[in-house]
Structure 1
Amino acid sequence: MLTDERHQIIRDRLAVEGRVLAGELASRFGVSEDTVRRDLRELAKAGQCRRVYGGAVAAAPFAAAPVGLRAGHAVEEKTRLARATVPLLSRGQTLFIDSGSTNAAIARAIPRDLDLTVATNSLEIASVLSDHALIDLIVLGGRFDRHLGACIGADTLAAVAQLGADLFVLGSCGLDASRGVTAFDSAEAEVKRAMAKNSAGIVIAVTNDKLATAAPYRVARPEAIRHLVVEKTAPGAILADFERQGAEIHFA
């Protein structure tokens, strides 16, 4: 396969899925991972992707795409992450769950016999939990942002300030062992920071493409993470950095 053909396939995959993995591409193309890494370096130099550990992500960060577009990305991985996250929840807890496609999968995975109080600024998550008989659901109102799929702004912050949670199930845009949890939107980051401040602990379920990446707006320091739920293929070196800062790692 010619170099230009490989590059076009990589661009197509990035457009649809938002990420590529070097190992998978090497198997598909029948070339070495060094060859794929060289392809990714060339595409990154041309501004057509952004290199991350193990592969690349779309140049316009996929995590910053509208929530409706992200919902169809890595569905199986997010379902597994959700199933691994649910055992961390305990009967009678109060949770903050903010917006995000992985968090929506977690909401769908909550058992019908688990009684919780859930406060969310996500209309999708509120809808998912609306007929859950044992969940006391609190919708954190405010200005609804269609791109984020969430309520943000002063009214949302005021609602968050009235509550305290046992756990905050935090939807992460970027997660790095030195910079911590980050987000692409300043107003969204402000709501996330308020939820983190009013919670006794943070739980994050994250796909591999978000590890070792960072967005512009800081949400929480890495040592604030109590539980980190990751794919079985998550890089051990990255996870070790989080473990050293106090996070308990759970594999999906």
Structure 2
Amino acid sequence: MLSKRHADILDILEAEGSATISALAGRLGVSLETVRRDVKPLTEAGRVLRIHGAVGLAGRIGEAPFEKRMRENAGPKRTIARAVAATIRDGESVMLDTGTTTSFVARELMNHRRLTVVTNSSDIARTLATVNGNRVYMAGGELRSDSGAAFGKSALDFIAQFAVHHAIISAGAVDEGGVMDYALEEAEFARLVLSRGERRVVVTDHTKFGRRGLISVAGWDEVGEIVTDRPPDAAISRSLSAAGARLTLAP
């Protein structure tokens, strides 16, 4: 029989994957010894694992960073993805860069038919390949261990061959100047993706607003539309309007 505190521990681990004993004690307002006592039946039942002064949800220990990021703000990302997928018709072509929000877009496209998909993400390729008559083209090159995505010259040369209906990128940071990222190769790839689409879309949740990345991906005059879950601040909104970029809030 699980107590409410057992359930609370499992809820925290479900959201975060792992937590230290001291962090759990602070969150639950109990002593370290109480947490250790509560954790014991959960470990005996195989629900959680003990790891160096912390506990982790069984099945989450050792998971890739990309999988952890997929759980962050999953609700808003799924809402954004659903709104974008609703604007894409069967038989159209879509280019997607690697990112958690674009991976959610791929999942929302699973009921579409006869799509042509171009991506550098192995997650997106696996999601949409071999179903509903889709054709999936994946950029080649060495796959990153953290995201399972391909970058570099071979990936850029590959996607430069395509012209698609919808070019969709995720964002590492968004400010009044446009979209930014923290890694040069990812910024270069996203920039080229945007240039290959009749429709150029940035998908991002509100947590990226006001951040400033290291490398510019695109100014707002190079973006046709941004789809997000909450309105950005006034400075970003003014920049969007001045550049003629459309702001779409996912319902």
TM over 0.5: yes
Which SS does the other structure have where 1:142 is aligned?
coil
- The match for 1:83 is 82
Report the Cα offset of residue 236 of structure 1.
Answer: 5.3
Aligned partners of 1:94 and 1:166 also within 8 Å: yes
Q: Which runs of 5+ in 1 are unaligned?
A: 1-11, 18-64
Report the Cα offset of residue 128 of structure 1.
Answer: 0.7
Report the Cα offset of residue 111 of structure 1.
Answer: 4.9
Which one-letter code corresponds to 2:157 in the other structure? Answer: A
Q: Which runs of 5+ in 2 are unaligned?
A: 1-11, 18-63
In the alignment, does 2:179 pair up with 1:181?
A: yes
- The match for 2:221 is 223
Matches within 5 A, 1:157-176: 157-176=156-175
In the alignment, does 2:105 pair up with 1:97?
A: no
Which SS does the other structure have where 1:166 is aligned?
strand
Which SS does the other structure have where 1:69 is aligned?
helix
Aligned partners of 2:89 and 2:112 also within 8 Å: no
CA distance in 2, matches of 1:148, 1:118: 18
Deviations 1:181-220 (A, max 9, x none): 1111111112122222222331112111101222111111
- The match for 1:234 is 231
| Structure label with greater radius of gyration | 2
CA distance in 1, matches of 2:142, 2:189: 12
CA distance in 2, matches of 1:159, 1:104: 20
Deviations 1:89-112 (A, max 9, x none): 233322210111111111000152
Count of matched residue pairs: 190
Q: Could you list the runs of 4 or more consecutive aligned residues of structure 1 that deviate by over 4 angstroms after TM superposition?
A: none
- The match for 1:245 is 243
Aligned partners of 2:220 and 2:239 also within 8 Å: no
Matches within 5 A, 1:204-215: 204-215=202-213
Aligned partners of 2:121 and 2:149 also within 8 Å: yes
Report the Cα offset of residue 157 of structure 1.
Answer: 1.2
Aligned partners of 1:78 and 1:102 also within 8 Å: yes
Report the Cα offset of residue 136 of structure 1.
Answer: 1.3
TM-score, normalised via structure 1 length: 0.69
CA distance in 2, matches of 1:193, 1:106: 19
In the alignment, does 2:169 pair up with 1:202?
A: no
